[in-house]
Amino acid sequence: NHPVALSDYTPPDYRVESVHLTVDLHDDVTLVRADLSVVANHDRTKGIRPLVLDGRGLVLRCIALDGKPLTTDEYVRDDETLTIHHVPEQCTVSVSTELKPQENTLLEGLYRSGGTFCTQCEAEGFRRITYFPDRPDVLAAYTVTITADRATCPVLLANGNLAASGDLPDGRHYATWHDPFPKPSYLFALVAGDLVKVEDTFVTKSGRRVALQIYVQSHNRDKCDHAVRSLAEAMRWDEEAFGREYDLDLYMIVAVDDFNFGAMENKGLNVFNSRYVLARPDTATDADYAAIEGVIGHEYFHNWSGNRVTCRDWFQLSVKEGLTIFRDQEFSAAMGSSAVKRIQDVRYLRTHQFPEDAGPLAHPVRPETYDAINNLYTATVYNKGAELIRMLRTLVGHDAFRRGMDLYFDRHDGTGATVENLVSALAEASGRDLTQFMRWYREAGTPEIHVTGSHDADTKAYTLTIRQGVAGGEPLLIPLAMGLLDRNGNELSVHLDGEQAPLEPGRALELSRQEETFCFRGIPEEPVPSLFRGFSAPVRLHYAYTEADLALLMGKDGDLFNRWEAGQRLMTGTILQLVADRRAGQELRLPPALVEACGTLLTSGGNDRAFLAEALTLPSENLLGEQMKEIEVEGIFEARRFVRTALARQLRGELSALWDQCRPTGPYRFEPAETGRRSLAACCLGYLMTLDDPSIRQACLRQFREADNMTDSLSALTLLAHTEGSEGETALAEFHARWREEPLVIDKWFAIQATSPLPDTFARVQRLLEHPDFTLANPNRARSLILSFAVNNPVRFHDRAGGGYRLLADHVIKLNSLNPMIGARMAEPLTRWRRHELNRRERMKTELERIAREPTLARDIRDVVTKGLA
């Protein structure tokens, strides 16, 4: 039955009104009994359709219809379904299955993480627990009874509210939970284990008290404050920004160490990867704190955009994920610096989504077909999906957007929605026809926008000619936020020819044709256009900026995002030119324009330190590679390193002075001014460490040892470990000895080594794979060593001998039986082979082919490998 096609969608033949689940947890065999009240959902006068339930890897003990056991000739089973041919209009189906969660390494369905029983059901994990119509448009009310040994599993949790609990014979106990909100099976959750609870209360805007509870292993009890605070902040923000209030009396979050991705928004009972919960100043960095705030917010926001209004089918995944990413981006922006948040989000999009959209795994935000549902959880569905929501808000305006969202939540509450439902609500609320916008949801690929400007001194007219090129040909509706600067950097009033008044600030132009021109009047001299301010559309802009234009925008643009963008363009242009010079055998020289621009930033860049740190950071090797048709791995590495070192040499005094101004003045606090100060300090120290100066290395080592927080300690450790010299080894050893009992910190220790540009890194990664702390069974650990190496260390991963590729493929093959969802992610870097030179291309392809030859390849991995080779 693969691939699945959107055009085949039909409503379910049977609905399930309520589910009673009894789960008896034991160390050997877990018993699950499900009683489903089933109601026909098709016109039975035209024929009675069979009831088809999904199920995978289940041991079936018995099945009954209205209390009467079915004999084996009354139903049919295959690997993925159980079909009952004759069912009445309404009936109760009772199924008993046997599971062995302790042997489940997929981390899908019911499994154990460090002794704790937990579940992961999205997208299709529920069918690994019991037989069920496991699709998001079957919504039911759940009542769940868990029984377990009281001594080893004192805590028993499921969705909703606790209805009853008590003792049972033989040292066992039970808890019954009831969730009044109908939900799809993918939002079901159950947790049982020996956990402690960290608690707080939140009073909603209408005055209801909600208990906020975070469950962790007892040794992590002192790492929950930030998560609790973030949750309360998210709840308050959603009330203010979207008018959304929480709907149960209890909100629980459980942290587990073994988790395939970030977290899961199960109704009232989120299950989290512990890395997005646990933080203490000495164990977690500012980036970790920010990620926790963002993910806690994200899962909370799903309570409305995902749970109350879910998606009709998996093709509509972006109606919950794109929308919820947009909501969490806005939340984080409100908690800190919004310009810096925007910069980081755009950098993420360009690093992860643009390449995906340009490669063999490209797909539209709403695809037409899929093979393996787990592979649809992509940067395209999530992050490009969020950009589409952002553009919609720009097009309809903030007020109409808010009205449209209210309409959407109101109209589709308790059901599964489609992309059309979401866009229609915005169209209705704003009175705009958004038909043309739907194309964004249907087309893969990043649009290329070509802009030229011409100025007529006599008429004082300035004309922008804009051409959009997108595969397929038909034009998109694109919001273009922009401004014009005069040669002194003053903002000119933007007055379109033929319009009464100048464009209101914040209002974007709209592109809707293949090619169009915009004529502005009253422009005395050739201006510098600031285009796609705030990155108003996920496009690639082509405009022939001169170095002087970019320097002007960098220093003066009123839009902070575009100030950063201009700097990135200048840096990218410089580095790529040096790559070409190096190829041509020429001596490398740093152009004065870049030195001057960076010098200005260092001495008079203003006091937004977080922004300055972003502005002074060179584009990554990966981002630079994206700009080349054929990626020159060594050329990029060398040219970028040259620029970094040359800037440090020429601006040493300024860098040292700024570093000095950024010294800590008190104990660690996670707040915008402090995180900005620390990131600027790390940025300056990073440049200074390229100077190969023993006194700087010593200062770096002191910072590593003496910092009261992980942010400063880790930035120093990373620099030491990535620089020649004995200090790196010393610091790595000290770090491991100090943190050996903290898995999340040991993940950092692995990742730092895997991303070192030093020439012995590949050998080191091979050694680390044998380290007693390494295990492929824990996704965080596997990612910290193997994926960090493959994704964040281009010059060592792409070693010409091909060892990196072989190593990656070996582990994809190991994960094929252990955890294919992670295996599929790990195979992705190999699918980018077309972008590399012949030798690498061949070697990467060979490894993909080797994976493809594995006799029984899991669907998730087969899907990636097949597309990668196609």
Closest CB to ligand B3K among 174 and 276?
276
621 binds ligand B3K (CB under 6 A): no
Smallest distance, Å, CB 296 to ligand B3K?
11
SS3 assignment, position 106: coil
CB within 8 Å of 598: residues ≥ 6 apart: 616, 647, 651
DSSP state of 496: B
265 makes contact with ligand B3K (CB under 6 A): yes
Contact region with Zn ion (CB under 5 A), list: 241-249, 318-326, 664-672, 711-719? 318-326
Beta strands in 429-583 (DSSP E): 448-456, 461-469, 478-480, 483-485, 491-492, 509-511, 515-521, 528-530, 540-542
Q: Which of residues 201-240 bind Zn ion (CB under 5 A)?
A: none
* Burial per residue of 471-493, b for 16 or more beta-carbon CB atoms within 10 angstroms, e otherwise: eeeebbbbbbbbbbbbeeeebbe
Structure letter (DSSP) for residue 268: T
Q: Is 321 in the site for ligand B3K (CB under 6 A)?
A: yes
Round the CA-based radius of gyration of the chain to a whole number and report it: 28
Q: In 3D, which of 630, 628, 615, 528 has the Cα closest to residue 573?
A: 628
Q: Which is nearer to ligand B3K, 312 or 582 (CB)?
A: 312
Q: How far is the CB of 473 from Zn ion (least distance, A)?
A: 33
Residue 608 near ligand B3K by CB under 6 A: no
Nearer to Zn ion, 237 or 789 (CB): 237
Q: Is 261 in the site for ligand B3K (CB under 6 A)?
A: yes
In the bound state with ligand B3K, the residue whose beta carbon lies nearer, of 106 and 429, is: 106
Per annotation, catalytic residue among 124, 299, 565, 727: 299
**With CB under 6 A as the contact rule, which of the stretches 25-33, 262-270, 498-506, 642-650 interacts with ligand B3K?**
262-270
Q: Which stretch binds Zn ion (CB under 5 A): 243-251, 314-322, 389-397, 579-587?
A: 314-322
Q: Return the one option of ligand B3K, Zn ion, none that residue 430 interacts with (CB less than 5 to 8 A, by type).
A: none
Count of positions (residues) in the chain: 870
| Choice between 297 and 483, CB closer to ligand B3K | 297
Q: Which stretch binds ligand B3K (CB under 6 A): 65-73, 170-178, 298-306, 580-588?
A: 298-306
Tell me the CA distances in angstroms from 733 to 95, 407, 537, 729, 750, one per residue in order.
54, 57, 46, 6, 12
The position carrying tokens 């939140």 is 202
Q: Which is nearer to Zn ion, 321 or 557 (CB)?
A: 321
Site for ligand B3K (CB under 6 A): how many residues?
Answer: 12
188, 142 Cβ separation under 8 angstroms = yes
What is the CA angle 656-658-662, rounded to 5?
115
Using CB under 6 A as the binding rule, whether residue 258 contacts ligand B3K is answered as no
Exposure string over 551-564, b if 16+ CB within 10 A, otherwise e: bbbbbbbebbbbbb
Binding flag, residue 299, ligand B3K (CB under 6 A): yes
**Least Cβ distance, residue 345 to ligand B3K (angstroms):** 16
Q: Amino acid identity of 814?
A: K
Taken in order 565, 570, 575, 580, the sign of the CA dihedral is positive
Is the separation of the CB atoms in 658 and 647 below 8 Å?
Answer: no
Rounded Cα distance, 472 and 364, in Å = 13
Q: Is 837 marked active-site?
A: no
Partner whose binding site includes residue 559, from ligand B3K, Zn ion, none (CB under 5 to 8 Å by kind): none
* DSSP bridge pairs for 39: 15, 90
Residue 578: φ, ψ to 5°:
-70, -35
Q: Is 241 exposed, middle or buried (0-12, 13-18, 19+ CB in 10 A)?
A: middle
- The piece of 69-77, 260-268, 424-432, 808-816 that touches ligand B3K (CB under 6 A) is 260-268
Interface with ligand B3K, residue 863, by CB under 6 A: no
Nearer to Zn ion by C-beta: 324 or 574? 324
| Residue nearest to ligand B3K according to CB distances in the complex | 122
DSSP of 565-605: HHHHHHHHHHHHHHHHHHHTTPPP---HHHHHHHHHHHHHS
Instruction: Report, in Å, the least distance between residue 251 CB and ligand B3K.
Output: 15
CB of 410 to ligand B3K, least distance (A): 23
Asked if 113 touches ligand B3K (CB under 6 A), the answer is: no
Residue 541 DSSP class: E
HEC-encoded secondary structure of 781-819:
HHHHHHHHHHHHCHHHHCCCCCHHHHHHHHHHHHHHHHC
Q: Which of ligand B3K, Zn ion, none has residue 557 at its interface (CB below 5 to 8 Å by kind)?
A: none
Q: Which does 476 bind (CB under 5 to 8 A by kind): Zn ion, ligand B3K, none?
A: none
Closer residue to ligand B3K (CB): 265 or 357: 265
When asked if residue 123 is in the footprint of ligand B3K (CB under 6 A), the reply is yes
Among the listed residues 122, 258, 549, 614, the single contact to ligand B3K using CB under 6 A: 122
Query: Helix or strand or coil: residue 536?
Result: coil
Integer Cα distance of 70 and 50 in angstroms? 15
Pairing of strands 51-54, 81-84: antiparallel
By CB under 6 A, residue 314 contacts ligand B3K: no
Q: Which is nearer to ligand B3K, 123 or 361 (CB)?
A: 123
- Using the contact rule CB under 6 A, the part of the chain among 177-185, 263-271, 683-691, 763-771 near ligand B3K is 263-271
User: Among 28-36, 104-112, 316-324, 634-642, which window interacts with Zn ion (CB under 5 A)?
Assistant: 316-324
Phi-psi region of 73 (alpha: psi -120 to 50; beta: other; left: phi over 0): alpha
Residue 315 CA from chain centroid, whole number: 18
Q: Which is nearer to Zn ion, 321 or 356 (CB)?
A: 321
Lookup result for tokens 């049972």: 168
Answer for which of 310, 344, 374, 562 binds ligand B3K (CB under 6 A) is 374
Rounded to 5 degrees, what angle do the CA atoms 97, 377, 335 make?
115
Tokens of 480: 């273009």
Choices 148-156, 256-264, 622-630, 766-774 (CB under 6 A): range interacting with ligand B3K: 256-264
Distance separating alpha carbons of residues 142 and 681, to the nearest angstrom? 52
Q: Shortest Cβ distance from residue 540 to ligand B3K (Å)?
A: 27
Count of residues of this chain found to bind Zn ion when the rule CB under 5 A is applied: 2
Residue number, 179 or 549, with CB nearest to ligand B3K = 179
Residue 374: name its binding partner from Zn ion, ligand B3K, none (Cβ under 5 to 8 Å by kind): ligand B3K
**Measured from the CB atom, is 321 or 847 closer to Zn ion?**
321
First-to-last CA distance in the chain? 21
Question: Are 498 and 558 within 8 A, CB to CB?
Answer: no
Could you tell me the smallest distance in angstroms from the CB atom of residue 379 to ligand B3K? 12
Query: Using CB under 6 A, which of 276, 314, 377, 670 touches ligand B3K?
Result: 377
Tokens of 576: 């790529």
- Residues in contact with Zn ion, shown as a per-residue x/- string from 322 to 361 under the rule CB under 5 A: --x-------------------------------------
Does residue 441 touch ligand B3K according to CB under 6 A?
A: no
Q: Does 264 bind ligand B3K (CB under 6 A)?
A: yes
For the annotated catalytic residues, the residue numbers are 299
Binding site for Zn ion (CB under 5 A): 321, 324
Binding site for ligand B3K (CB under 6 A): 122-123, 261, 263-265, 298-299, 302, 321, 374, 377
